[in-house]
Amino acid sequence: MTFTPIDKAARATPPAMARRIRGLSDRTIAWIFVAPSIFLLLAVNIFPLIWTIRLSFTNFRVNRPNNDVEWVGLRNYQRILTDEGTWATMQATAHFLIWTIVLQVLIGFALAFLINKKFRGNDLWTTIIVFPMMLSPAVVGNFWTFLYQPQIGLFNYVVAFFTGADPASFSMIGDVMLAPWAIVIADTWMWTPFVMLICLAGLRSIPNSIYEAAECDRASKWRQFWTITIPMVLPFLMLAVLFRGIENFKMFDLVVQLTGGGPGNTTTLTSIDLKREAFEKWRTGYSSAYAVILFVTVFGLASIYVKALNKVKER
């Protein structure tokens, strides 16, 4: 008589435990398997969120653990929402968010459209284009600071070549007007390949038969692009925008390495400001309220976006 591994495991189980397990329903066993994950999720995600909301109503400072913690009600929220400095960081974030998404979607889609055509060296070009995405944001920030150097930076020389301006006459990182664009360019350079890959997946999922049918109906290339390509790639594009939107709302490392939030506060994004409040000024209660405001904003935006995405997919 041969025993399967399951039989062997059943025979190896002590009789007392076997009796107990036999008495459990499938539902209970399923809960036993799922419980560790749920516990971990509650401990790592839900508990810190609830704790942060609680702290946001207090004047707690984590560097003064022995001080009395006072309940301050909505005072932290009131301070944040009437502070002009915080308002300016929101505007800097909006500028960064809007322009990076617009540029990354346009360039990413254009690159995907080109890469989707069959040509010699297609795979090599895909690898070269995807390369920036594989780098660490800190590394990208570091070498873009060199590229932006007014004296030796390649970026200034390229701009000078096309415009005829003196390369040393402007500083992308040091100028109040140019610094917000410096972080937009660096982030676009780094993350456009990500959008390109998602768009490429969308383009490759379109069956050729649809284009063939359109050819039979004598539809022009332009019409095929607007009535076949764009509608079928749209869910993928929306997904890319969702991912990049959430990521860029939290953007920290690249910008810190590149500009450090300066000059002045022109490139201080909300995540940088939040980190300063929490870990430089040690205003834990205040920064908790700040984090709650950002969380509600991102959560709200993501909710309506996912709803729109589902509607597009249903069409």
Q: Please report how close the Cβ of residue 86 comes to another protein at its closest, in angstroms.
A: 9
Between 71 and 295, whose beta carbon lies closer to another protein? Answer: 295
Asked if residue 65 has a cis previous peptide bond (ω within 30° of 0), the answer is no
Nearest by Cα to 189 from 149, 225, 140 = 140
Binding mask 74-113 for another protein (x = CB under 8 A): ---x---xx-x--x--xx-xx-------------------
Of 55, 59, 204, the residue nearest 126 (C-alpha): 204
Closest approach of Cβ 180 to another protein, in Å? Answer: 13
Decide: 133 and 190 in contact? Cβ < 8 Å. Answer: yes
- Pick out residues in 256-295 that bind another protein (CB under 8 A): 293
Nearest to 240 by CA among 191, 207, 203, 205: 191
224, 226, 234 from 215: Cα distances, Å = 9, 14, 22
Looking at the Cβ atoms of 20 and 313, the one nearer to another protein is 313
Residues 172, 77: Cα–Cα separation, whole Å: 35
Site for another protein contains 307 (CB under 8 A): yes
String of contacts with another protein for each residue 58-77, x by CB under 8 A: -------------------x
Contacts of 184-188 with C-beta under 8 Å, sequence gap 24+, read 184/95, 184/96, 184/99, 184/100, 184/103, 185/144, 186/140, 186/141, 186/144, 186/254, 186/258, 187/96, 187/100, 187/104, 187/248, 187/251, 187/254, 188/100, 188/103, 188/104, 188/107
Of 307 and 315, the one with the shorter C-beta distance to another protein is: 307
Asked if 45 is part of the footprint of another protein (rule: CB under 8 A), the reply reads: no
Which residue in the set 139, 178, 234, 301 belongs to the binding site for another protein (CB under 8 A)? 301
Question: How many residues line the site for another protein (CB under 8 A)?
Answer: 18
Beta carbon nearer to another protein, 18 or 296: 296
Decide if residue 310 touches another protein (CB under 8 A): no
Helix (H, G, I), strand (E, B) or coil at 244: helix
In the bound state with another protein, the residue whose beta carbon lies nearer, of 156 and 268, is 268
Residue 181 sits in the site that holds another protein (CB under 8 A): no
Query: What minimum distance in Å lies between the beta carbon of 249 and another protein?
Result: 10
Rule CB under 8 A: say whether 122 interacts with another protein. no
Residues at the interface with another protein (CB under 8 A): 77, 81-82, 84, 87, 90-91, 93-94, 293, 296-297, 299-301, 303-304, 307
